[in-house]
Amino acid sequence: MIAIEQLSKRFVSRSGGTLLKRAAERVVQAVDGISFQAGNGMITGLLGANGAGKTTTLRMLGGLLQPDHGSIRVDDIDVLKQPGAALARMGILGDAHGLYPRLSARENIIYFGRLQGMEREVANARAELLAELLDMKSILDRRCDGFSQGERMKTALARALVHDPANIVLDEPTNGLDVLATRGLREALRHLRSPAGGSKCIVLSTHIMQEVELLCDQVVVVAAGRAAARGSVPELLAQAGESRFEDAFVRLAFKPSIPATAEALA
């Protein structure tokens, strides 16, 4: 279970300075008081346009960035006060997969398991099980250099799940995957959500409407760093008074005065 309350983060960058002139400061309010809860046995999707603040939110959740304000609790553990304990309960698939190219997929997974305090044999057994779940048995003992995008994603996901975390956080997991790999990943996530798969709490970010419609039990529409709307797909359709999800998203994420239908936008 993940609970995010009033989380904010701004970035200050400098540009255009010279020897005589101080560089101008540019402030970006990347996340601006976002709140949401993600339950166990559910897939929660953060849906937002480019630059809406999804990745920044997930990076704070994963302890990679310090928030300016707000709180993050994972299974009731405060991520800011007890990052080690909270991270042990999370499997995180970030945007950079960062595999060791000289190691095989199995070695990458086991190495990560060892870092999580697992015995080698236990981590190896998990690698075998995850290879089955993610349909990656044929690449398990291949070195990762030369892996395709889909093979890298599967290996990185298996590595993130090696310690069987109760909470799974995925930043745009289907980025660069073909239709078969995407379907395979969806199946794996549905299994992990089910009681047989451990009723995991899964949070993913995406800007793909279909992803959300096919997979997510709950959607958080992220716009300008805030949760502009929350609910299931049918609930969001009802809130927006639309029959197509894309139209509902446009209406909820942007100003209601913007025409919501794709035809009107054309």
Ligand X SMILES: Nc1ncnc2c1ncn2[C@@H]1O[C@H](COP(=O)(O)OP(=O)(O)OP(=O)(O)O)[C@@H](O)[C@H]1O
For ligand X, the binding residues (CB under 6 A) are: 11, 13, 28, 30, 48, 50-56, 207
Beta bridge partner(s), residue 90: 167
Shortest distance in whole angstroms from residue 118 CB to ligand X: 31
* C-beta closer to ligand X: residue 30 or 216: 30
Distance of alpha carbon 94 from alpha carbon 102, whole angstroms: 20
At residue 166, the 3 state secondary structure works out as coil
Taking the least distance from each CB to ligand X, the nearer of 133 and 221 is 221
For residues 77 and 177, which CB has a smaller minimum distance to ligand X in the complex?
177
For ligand X, the closer CB: 108 or 205: 205
Distance, CA of 232 to chain centre = 18
Provide the phi-psi class of 199: left if phi over 0, else alpha when psi is between -120 and 50, else beta.
Answer: left
Least distance (Å) from ligand X to the CB of residue 43? 18
Rg (CA), the chain: 20
| Smallest distance, ligand X to C-beta of residue 225, A | 7
141-145 contacts at long range (C-beta below 8 A, 24 or more positions apart)? 141/104, 141/105, 141/106, 142/104, 142/105, 143/101, 143/102, 143/103, 143/104, 144/99, 144/100, 144/101, 144/102, 144/103, 144/104, 144/105, 144/108, 145/101, 145/102
- CA dihedral for 234, 168, 94, 69, sign (positive or negative): positive
Q: Is 33 exposed, middle or buried (0-12, 13-18, 19+ CB in 10 A)?
A: middle
Q: Which two tokens stand for residue 40?
A: 């166990």
The CB-of-9 to ligand X minimum distance in angstroms stands at 8
CB atoms within 10 A of CB 245: 19
Question: Which amino acid is it at 96?
Answer: A
Provide the minimum distance between the beta carbon of 33 and ligand X in the complex, in angstroms, as a whole number. Answer: 14
Q: What's the closest the beta carbon of residue 31 comes to ligand X, in angstroms?
A: 7
Minimum CB separation of residue 55 from ligand X in Å reads 3
3-state secondary structure of 56: helix
8 vs 167, beta carbon nearer ligand X: 8
Comparison of 18 and 50: residue with beta carbon closer to ligand X: 50
- Measured from the CB atom, the residue of 34 and 260 that comes closer to ligand X is 34
